Amino acid sequence: MKNNTAYAELMAYQRQTEALAKVAERLGWDQETMMPRGGAEQRGEEMAAMEGVLHARRTNPQIAQWLADAEANDDVAASQLYHIDRSYRRFVKVPGDLAQELARVTSVAQGIWAAARAADKVADFLPTLSQVIDLRRQEAACLAEGGDLYDALIDDYEPEATAESLGAMFDRMRPRLVALREAVLGAPTPAGLEGHFAQDAQLRLARDTATAFGYDWSRGRIDLAVHPFSSGGGDDSRITTRVVESDPFNCLYSTIHEVGHSSYELNIDPDYGMSPLGHGVSMGVHESQSRIYENQIGRSAAFTGWIYGQMVERFGPLNVDGPRAFYAAVNRVRPGFIRTEADEVHYNLHIMMRFDLERALIRGDLAVADLEAAWNDRFLADFGVAVDKPSHGVLQDVHWSVGLFGYFPTYSLGNVYAGCLNKAMRAAMPDLDTALARGDTSGATGWLRENLQRHGGLRTPRDTIAHACGFEPSEGPLLDYLEAKFRDLYAL
C-alpha cells in the first residue's frame, strides 16, 4: 500500500547519502587544489573507502521497498522518486568492489596525468589510462546489459542521449561550422592581445568579474588548478581557474565559465537541497550555463566593452586600441591546440574529435598504444596544424584520467542548449546589451536563474531547456548566432 511514511523515510535516508557524496566531492576538490603531491596514493585509498560506503548506501535493498511503498503527492515528489529509482537501478548493476577500484584508480590517475602533462611524456600516462579504460569498460558492460558500452557511459552524464543521436547532431553541425571557419580564416585576422599581465592582477580581475556575474562569495571561493573546474552545490560551490601571464583571457574566461557552473548549483531552489533535485539535471544543461555565461554574455560586444575598460584601468594601455578592437581580440578565430582556449567557431570541432576517439577506445576499435598517433592524425586533418607536443595534444584534458568517458559530447550539447537559451533570453530582454555594457549582468543571470537554474533536476534535460525557452531545443539557434556574430566581426 502506498504511503507518505515510506516517502519521508526514503528522503531522510537520501539526505544522508547526499551529504556523504558532498564529502567525497570535497576530497576531490582538495586533491586538485590543496593536497600535497605526496598524498596521492593515500587519497586514492580514502576515495575508495568513501565510494565503498556510498555504493553500499545506494544499493541498500530497503531503497527498493521504500520506492515500492512511497506515494508521490505532487510533481516534486514524483521527480524525486524518479531520480532515486534511476540511481538505484544503475548502482545495483555495478559490483561494489569494481566501484571502489574505479574510485581508487581514477584518484591516483589524476596525479599521474598531471605529471605526464607537465613533462610532456605520453608513455608515463598510457599504462594508467589503459587501466582506467579497462575498468570503465567493465562498468559499462554491467550497465549496458548487452547494449552499447559507450551509450551506457553517456547515460551517466546526459540521460536520454545516445552516441547515435549525438553523432547525428554533430553531422548536422559540421558542414555549417566548417563553412564558417573557412570563410573567417580567409578574411584578415584581427590583432591579438599581447603583453605581460601579472598573476595577482589577473586574479583580482577574475574575482571582480565573477562578482559582476553575481557569484556568491559567502558560499564559494576561487583557487588555482591545472585544469579549471567547479565543485560542490547547495551552500558550498567552489570554482578554480588557471593563469598564463601572457594570456589574461585564459584566466578570465575560465573563471566566467566556472562561475556559470557554480551559479547553477547555488541558485537551485533551497527546498531541493540535499536531495536528487538539488543538482544540475545533466552535464549538457550544466554546460549550457557555463557556455552562455562565457560566450553569449561574456564574449559579447557589450560586455567585452566593459572588460576593456577594466583591463586598461588595471594594466594600462593595451596593444589593441578601443572596445571594438578588444572585442575582436577576445573573439579572434584561429586553429589553436587547446580546447579550453578555442574560439567559438572551432570549439565544437574539438569536441567532435574527442567524441570519435573515446567512442573508439571504449568500443575497442582503437588501442591505447595508438591513441597519440590517432589524435595527431585527426587534429592535423581537422585543424590543418601538426601537434607540436603532447600537452598541446592528447595530454591536454583531465577527463580521461579520471574516467569521464561519455562526458565530452555534453560540451557541444551545452553549446546547443546555450544557443537556444540565448535566443529566448534576447527575445525577452531586447535591451540587454545596454546593461551588459555597464558590466551589469543581473538581467541575464536573473533570467537564467528564474527560467532554468532554480528548477534543478525537476524536469528531464530536454524538458528543462524547452521549459526555459518556450520551444524544443535544436542546433539551429547556435549556428545562426555563430554565423551572425562572426560574419559581422570579420565583415564577411
Whether the CB-CB separation of 193 and 249 falls below 8 Å is answered with: yes
CA 425 – CA 452 distance, rounded (Å): 11
CA 203 – CA 155 distance, rounded (Å): 36
Whether the CB-CB separation of 389 and 375 falls below 8 Å is answered with: no
Whether 152 has a pLDDT exceeding 70, the answer reads yes
By three-state DSSP, how is residue 70 classified?
strand
Q: Among 158, 258, 294, 372, which one carries the catalytic annotation?
A: 258
Residues in the chain: 492
CATH 1.10.3720.10 fits 163-489, yes or no: no
Whether 63 has a pLDDT exceeding 90, the answer reads yes
Helix residue spans in 4-95 (DSSP H): 4-33, 40-58, 61-69, 75-91
> What percent of the chain clears pLDDT 90, i.e. is strictly above it?
98
pLDDT in tens, 90-102: 999 999 999 999 9
C-alpha cell at position 15: 539526505
Q: If we measure between CA atoms, which residue out of 119, 13, 142, 47 comes closest to residue 390?
A: 119
Q: Cα-Cα-Cα-Cα dihedral of 382, 423, 260, 50, to 10°?
A: -80
Q: If we measure between CA atoms, which residue out of 65, 76, 453 comes closest to residue 286?
A: 453
Give me the chain's average pLDDT, please: 97
Asked about 245 being catalytic, the answer comes back as no
Q: What is the mean pLDDT of residues 83-96?
A: 97
Q: In this structure, is the dihedral angle defined by the CA atoms of residues 115, 120, 123 and 128, taken in order, positive or negative?
A: positive
Task: Give pLDDT, residue 472.
Answer: 98
pLDDT in tens, 395-428: 999 999 999 999 999 999 999 999 999 999 999 9
Whether 4 has a pLDDT exceeding 90, the answer reads no
pLDDT in tens, 307-364: 999 999 999 999 999 999 999 999 999 999 999 889 999 999 999 999 999 999 999 9
pLDDT in tens, 260-291: 999 999 999 999 999 999 999 999 999 999 99
Which uninterrupted H or E stretch holds 349?
helix 344-363
Q: What is the mean pLDDT of residues 212-217?
A: 98
Q: What is the mean pLDDT of residues 203-218?
A: 98
What are the boundaries of each domain within the chain? 4-147, 163-489
Burial class (CB in 10 A: 0-12, 13-18, 19+), 101: middle
Phi, psi angle pair for 282, to nearest 5°? -160, 165
- The DSSP secondary-structure symbol of 190 reads P
Residues 6+ apart with CB under 8 A from 48: 100, 101, 103, 104, 107
Q: In this structure, is the dihedral angle defined by the CA atoms of residues 350, 210, 423 and 449, taken in order, positive or negative?
A: positive
DSSP codes of every residue in 201-266: HHHHHHHHHHHHTT--GGG--EEE-SS--EEEETTEEEEEE--BTTBHHHHHHHHHHHHHHHHHHH
Q: What is the mean pLDDT of residues 26-35?
A: 94
- Sheet with 230-233, strands from edge to edge, namely 222-224, 236-241, 230-233
Whether 1 has a pLDDT exceeding 80, the answer reads no
Task: Give pLDDT, residue 226.
Answer: 86
Burial class (CB in 10 A: 0-12, 13-18, 19+), 98: middle
Whether 2 has a pLDDT exceeding 90, the answer reads no
CA 203 – CA 243 distance, rounded (Å): 8
Work out the angle at residue 24's Cα, subtended by the Cα atoms of residues 20 and 28, and round it to the nearest 5 degrees. Answer: 160
Phi, psi angle pair for 136, to nearest 5°? -70, -35
